[in-house]
Structure formats: structure tokens, C-alpha cells
Structure 1
Amino acid sequence: MYNDFLLIRKMKQGDDNAFDLFVHKYYQEILSYCHHHCFDKTYAEDLTQETFIRFFTRLPDYHYKGKTLNYLYTIAGNLCKDYLKKTKEILLEENESLEGNQAEENQTEQILNRVLIEQVLGQLPDESREVLTLYYFQELKLTEISGKLQIGLPLVKYRLQKARKQLKELLGKEELHESERKD
């Protein structure tokens, strides 16, 4: 399969096959990311499609730097944040008219927690957010993250450790409770 540099060059030249290969290469990862951030599969598919549309719209100005997937994650992340903000606003309006319904309060609390997590992740540096997202949300192993980001395994471990520390500080907790995974 082509590497990203060649695919992007061919896409800029108008090669339809290169567009298809590019979407095929990254669609499932971006869909999984979007589905994790919004609860509705249909919206996740829409957000995934919008991610690729925005990428292709900006393609003429895009300069390949070896991190195309990261750029796609950034676009998808921004779209998911916008979706969550709209969902939060709608749910808050609904809850004002339907106060007292415990099920809706739980759903609102889940969404607000998700929004809080998104806000905290948004405060992290890109490389920390990227490693946390791949490790916890995409459930990739450290070696897989190393390959995706094209960095060494020790650097992945360092960034993950640093990101956890930054999360603890941002959340204001003494301990970040997590279930330990073995890679």
C-alpha cells in the first residue's frame, strides 16, 4: 500500500484511486475514534465522513509532515467536541422541561462527564492527548502506538507517563484511578 506522502501527492494531482486508498486506510480508525466520542453510531459515521471531507477540502494547503493520521484525529476531535456541545445544550434544554426524571439526569451526567474529559484532554499538549487517546480510547498497545506515531517505544512510554501526570494535575486528584492493562 502507498505511504501517505505518495497518496497525498496523487490526491493533489486528482487521482481518484488515491482518494479511495486514503479513505480505506484510515476510515475504520477515525470511525472508531468518533464512535467512542459520541454514543450514536449514525452520528459517528457522519462525523467520520465530515472529517474526510474537511481534510480533502484543505488538501491543497496541506503540507505532509509525516503525521497525517494525527491531523485526521485533530479534525475528528474538533468535530466531536462540537457535536458534544450541541448535544449538551439540547439535553440541558430538555432537562429543564423534564426535571425530576432520573434517567435523563443520568444521561446528562454521562454527557457532561464526557464533555469534562474532552475539555481536560483539550488542555493537554498535542503529543500527550494523542498518546492518551490512542492508548485508552483506541485501546492500542504501546508497540502499536509506536508504529502509528513513528516514534520509539521508550518515547511512547515517556509520553504516556507524562500525560497521566498532566491529567492528575488538571483533574486535581491525588491518584488517577485506572485499570492496569498489560501490553
Structure 2
Amino acid sequence: MDTDFLLVRKMRQGNEEAFDVFVRKYYGEILSYCRFRCFDAESAEDLTQETFLRFFANLSEYRHMGKAKNFLYTVAGNLCRDFYKKKKDVPMDGEGLEAQAPLGEDSLEPVLDRAVIREALLKLPEEFREMIVLHYFQGMKIAEAAEVIGVRVSLAKYRLREAKAQLKRLLE
């Protein structure tokens, strides 16, 4: 039986240990996703915490259709979209991709590469950027990413293909 299904069932019964296990299991993934989406470590932390709060607040309404992880990504994605609507400008202070890798003496080139990639990602339309982040940075299969963003697999494939083509043009 699916461990997430069991965890959700226990959480609905008020089992605090199940809450802890669930958060530990997915916190890092959701935080990483939020960092890629908002490029601001502090905001990503806030969005991650809000994702779990919303999931838990709506637990009684959650129907175990699909993976709980995908539902978390959907909540996080919606929160990130709302974050952009409120903020309207993305900080370019090195808090996003660079914050995920330690700097060493010989690491200037990878940081510059990440900065170039970050700039290119920001130029993509939101729906294309989201597919790149979910598939390549979060390691989701196309079908999982499609479920997270609420589109058909064929549209997810199209968006990924177009995103790669646009990124290629931007990075040339």
C-alpha cells in the first residue's frame, strides 16, 4: 500500500508523528522547487511552509487521487504564481540558483553558467519555465508534471519541447 496514503490517513486522525514524517519526506523537494520558481531563498522558505500549512488545512477535503507529492507541487506552484502576481519583479541578487551550491575557489564558472541559465529561464513564459523546473530540476516524469500543473500529457510535452527550443535560442 502507498505510504503517502497511509500517512494522509494517519494525519486525518490527528497523528502528529505522521505530520512530521510527511514534512520531512517532502520539505526539501518543495523548498527546492520554490527556490527555482522565485529565485529568493527567504521567500522560498516562506512559500514552502505555506504549502504545507495549506495542505494540512485542507486535508479533510483532499481526495487521494494521484500522488500526495503532486498535490503538494500543485499547491506550491499556485503559491509561487500568487507570489509573482503580488511582487511583479524578481530579485536578481544571487539568492536562487547560486544559493543551492557552495562557492569555492574554482566555482566561478559554474556560478556564471547558473546565472546565465537563470536569466534565460526568467525570459521564458511561466508555463514553459514551470515544465523545465519540474522535469529537469525536480526530476519529475512528464506525466507527473502534467498532473501537477493540471494539463494533459500532450500539452506538457509540447510545453517542454517549446521551452527547450526557446532556451536553446536564448543560450546561443
Could you say which structure has the larger radius of gyration?
1
Shift in CA distance, 165/65, structure 1 to aligned 2, threshold 3 Å: closer
Size of the alignment, in residue pairs? 132
Q: Which consecutive unaligned segments of at least 5 residues does structure 1 have? A: 92-109, 123-128, 150-158
Q: Which whole-Å CA distance do the structure 2 matches of 1:27 and 1:10 have between them?
A: 18
Seq. identity, %: 49
Shift in CA distance, 50/3, structure 1 to aligned 2, threshold 3 Å: same
Shift in CA distance, 133/60, structure 1 to aligned 2, threshold 3 Å: same
The 5 Å alignment of 1:61-140 reads 61-88=61-88, 114=122, 117-119=125-127, 129=131, 132-138=132-138, 140=139
> How big is the alpha-carbon RMSD for the aligned residues of Structure 1 and Structure 2?
3.4
Whether the 8 Å contact between 2:38 and 2:90 is mirrored in structure 1 is: no
Whether the 8 Å contact between 1:164 and 1:176 is mirrored in structure 2 is: no
Q: Which consecutive unaligned segments of at least 5 residues does structure 2 have? A: 92-117, 145-152
Whether the 8 Å contact between 2:39 and 2:90 is mirrored in structure 1 is: no
Whether the 8 Å contact between 1:47 and 1:80 is mirrored in structure 2 is: yes
Which amino acid in the other structure matches residue 165 of structure 1? Y
- Matching residue within 141, 156, 165 for 1:163: 156
Deviation at 1:65, TM superposition (A): 1.7
Aligned to 2:40: 40
